[in-house]
Amino acid sequence: MLRRKVPFITSKPPFITITTTIRQKSSGGKRPKKKTYHRVPELDRVMELRKKPTTILELKTLIQSQPKSNPLFLRDLEKNVGFVRKWDFMALIEKHPTIFRVTGSPPFVHFTDKAHRVAQQEARSRDFMEPLLVNNLRKMLMLCVDNRIPLETVEFVGPEMGLPWDFKGCLIDKYPQFFSVRAFNGRDFLYLEDWDSTLAVTAREARLAQEGIVVNMKPNMDNKKVKISKDGNYAGPFAFKVNFPAGFRPNVNFLQQFERWQKLEFPSPYLNARRFDTADPKTRKRALGVIHELLSLTMERRMTSAQLDAFHAECFLPSQLLLCLIKHHGIFYLTNKGVRSTVFLKDGYVGSNLIDKCPLLQFNDKFVALCGRGNVDLSDIKSSLQAVV
């Protein structure tokens, strides 16, 4: 878990602006100064919008995991999801007759004909995903200082990356030239067997290259004096795309300091972190690049705080990770909406919409759309809203 707890992460998230209190020295009984952490309603809304699709997809996976000779009986729901959630699934089945149907005696749940036809397309989507998953798994290992990571960590973050539940058999064993599993200090670790320098390009660098910015250019090689905009963005090779919340009003002094930080060069996240001094500002900026890249490797450009913190030792993440994310709220957004606190990569979204969707997310949108719920995909709006016949 995270090294430091802050007051605004609670089991019941408030509906008011989050505030954190910075304690200062006593000054004659005055109240301590408060620093406001501004909410981003559009990203909070993402968590709300994902609740229903997540439950539908979970029930879909549960039905598909049953052997053909033994369907999912309603009486067995409690064994799979627990007594409390059983009633949520029962209500879901009753509410969406276009996807789920209950028949037989004893009653069991299965797909409607239309839902069954759409569900069969998942295998094709996963085939399209396989090369992407292999590369993302290799890139994740390349970000680790020893090019290895505990297998339990991969299992922990696997759903966010889109890894299948049996990834050890269908990916790791299938590509022995890239991966191997070996024991180390009594734990199973996933090792990288082949370093590919062509993969050592971050999502930030790829975006800059698309915009025509030379990534490997030194700051002093740019003769043009480019002023940073009022929103904090700067067209430079070492700049991060930022999106400050609506309630944040930076003053001139802040923008001047932020401009110097945006222009500060830093080593690639794919270089070994042991080579750099942790107190160096360039190293601290590089750590943000590592977090940015880890979130870029996920399907929805987000992880729970616990999942991100699982990379703490392997990637040399900042010791005060939570405060680091809060400080750089133009790049990341931390929300306590939902069951667990979640970290968003802001440049992956426009409003509440994910900009770039992988084939598996496009399939999920198509399946969930059977209940009559539209899903907006900015990369291909027509395909996301296309009715399934």
pLDDT per residue as tens digits for the range 105-126: 889 999 999 999 999 999 999 9
* Pairwise CA distance, residues 202 & 268, whole Å: 8
Q: Confidence band (pLDDT; 50, 70, 90) for 6?
A: very low
C-alpha distances (whole Å) from 357 to each of 42, 168, 364, 376 are 18, 24, 10, 10
> Per residue in 66-82, pLDDT tens?
887 788 999 988 888 88
> Which of 113, 67, 72 is CA-nearest to residue 89?
72
Residue 381 token pair: 């709006």
Which parts of the chain are beta strand (E)?
18-21, 34-37, 72-73, 100-103, 108-111, 148-150, 179-184, 187-192, 302-304, 332-335, 342-345, 349-350, 353-354
* The pLDDT of residue 7 is above 60: no
The sign one gets for the Cα dihedral 285, 19, 298, 153 is positive
In this prediction, what percent of the chain has a pLDDT beyond 90? 63
> Which of 7, 296, 356 is CA-nearest to residue 139?
296
- 149 DSSP 8-state letter: E
Cross-sheet strand order for the sheet of 72-73: 72-73, 108-111, 100-103
Out of 34-38, 185-189, 273-277, least confident range: 34-38
Q: Tell me if residue 328 falls in helix, strand or coil.
A: coil
What's the confidence (pLDDT) of residue 22?
40
* The pLDDT of residue 100 is above 90: yes
- 388 DSSP 8-state letter: P
> Per residue in 313-348, pLDDT tens?
999 999 899 999 999 999 999 999 877 899 999 999
Q: Find out whether the peptide bond into 106 is cis, omega within 30 degrees of 0.
A: yes
**Average pLDDT of 180-194?**
94
Residue 313 contacts residue 3 (beta carbons within 8 Å): no
> Which one has a higher pLDDT value, 217 or 320?
320
* Pairwise CA distance, residues 144 & 71, whole Å: 43
Q: What's the predicted TM-score (pTM) here?
A: 0.83
DSSP secondary structure string for all residues of 211-250 = TT--TT--GGG--S--PPPTTS---STTPPP----TT---
